Amino acid sequence: MSRTRRAVEFDVVDLGLRASRDARGTPAELLDGYLEDLAALSTTGAQLGAKQLRVRHEAGARAAADGVALRDLIDLYLSATWLAWSSLPGVRDAVGADAVRTVGEAVFRAADAAVTALAEGYEEAQRWSVRREESFRREFVDDLLDGRNVGHLAERAERIGFRLAASNVVAAMRADEPIVVGGEAARNVETAVQLRLGSRDVLIATKDGLLVCVAPALPADVPEEFVRQVSAVMGVEADWRVGLGRAQSGPGGAVRSFEQARYALDIADRLGLPGRLHKAADLLVYQVLLRDSAALADLVGEVLEPLRSARGGVGPLLDTLGAYFACGRVATVCARNLHLGVRTVTYRLQRIRELTGYAADDPGQGFTLQVAVLGAKLLGWPDARS
């Protein structure tokens, strides 16, 4: 058989187009010399070399970048293999079943190796794309929460589908151990939230050891969903809290909401507030108290300083006052919460009155005591000298 005859019978352009049609229009250019390789090895029996497999690897990466589905890419190669089979020079020249079998083994080993290299290149490109997108989102959230590069935030926000001008809210989770970038907790919470909400404008990232969720103010259930998924990942026994900032609009809104979320966490930690979710909107009274910390320190010192002289120290009396006000000024409930007898509680309250001159059960004096106790917790008194 002449070389011209063989070339006509093995028309790689026609075979590529037919394989493309069979693979739902997957571009024939992705075959990139595969049919020529099959034709050569069908006569030599050699396998695809490192250079040829590298071409397949690159073709897989190119397909991933172009958005071609992996199954369609594999379909293109398998279709090209069976369509070319009868036209391969080695098959046409084979004499007898043993010769055809030998060619078949060589061709299908090559097809197997080619598909493996394609899949490896495709998956590697996908992983790199995911890492690049994750890095882009992390940098965006970092700049968003720091208020950096504000002039470039809009273009970057559009790329990830985040509505920068809308009203957004920030929730921040603090655990006993800092949350690290790429850590298991961060990945699992992000995956769970994205699966539940299916929204690209909900961003999960780490910042200063916190796990942060930036989300549109509406719908309002996003922070609660974030808390649910954090609970599922961290567990109910772990020590963690979530602070929630108020809804803020504009490029600087996320920064303000994030600062409010961190403030809510700090207040909850200082006061030992119960529960997991602490909203900045519910803690504004403490912000008012701290706005004039010097005056608050004066109040704490003036009202509570005499307790330093008590036998057993300040701690038990301060704890009793805090529990007494927390339960609505009911001595029996206070005693139960502190695992003490009622007589012990009433004795301590009486001792506080003797030392400070303020009665906890008096409306006016009790209010002064309560504010002083809150101030002590906020300022770290008595460990921090007023």
Q: Residue 136: pLDDT band by 50, 70, 90 thresholds?
A: confident
Question: What's the confidence (pLDDT) of residue 79?
Answer: 96
Tell me which of 4-13, 298-307, 376-385 is least confident.
Answer: 4-13
pLDDT average, residue stretch 144-162: 78
pLDDT at residue 4 above 70? no
Percent over 70 (pLDDT), the chain? 95
Which pLDDT value is given to residue 199?
Answer: 65
Assessment of whether the complete model's pTM goes beyond 0.75: no
Lowest mean pLDDT among 18-32, 47-61, 192-206, 259-273: 192-206
Please report the pLDDT score of residue 385 as a whole number. Answer: 53
Indicate if the pLDDT at residue 151 is higher than 90: no
Mean pLDDT across 259-281:
92
User: What are the tokens at 355?
Assistant: 């030392």
pLDDT of residue 8: 41
Give the tens place of pLDDT for each residue, 46-92. Answer: 999 999 999 999 999 999 999 999 999 999 999 999 999 999 999 99
Q: What are 347-372's pLDDT values in tens digits?
A: 999 999 999 999 999 999 999 999 99
Q: What's the token pair of residue 352?
A: 């506080």
Task: Return d(Cα 79, Cα 200) in angstroms, integer.
Answer: 37
| 167-175 vs 210-216, strand pairing mode | antiparallel
Where residue 1 falls among pLDDT bands split at 50, 70, 90? very low
Look at residue 6 and tell me whether its pLDDT is greater than 70: no
Round to whole Å and give the CA distance between 310 and 303: 14
pLDDT(116) > 90:
yes
- Residues 211-240 have a mean pLDDT of 89
Contact 117, 60 (CB under 8 A): yes
pLDDT at 384 over 80: no
Which pLDDT score is estimated for 197?
79
Query: What's the mean per-residue pLDDT of the chain?
Result: 90
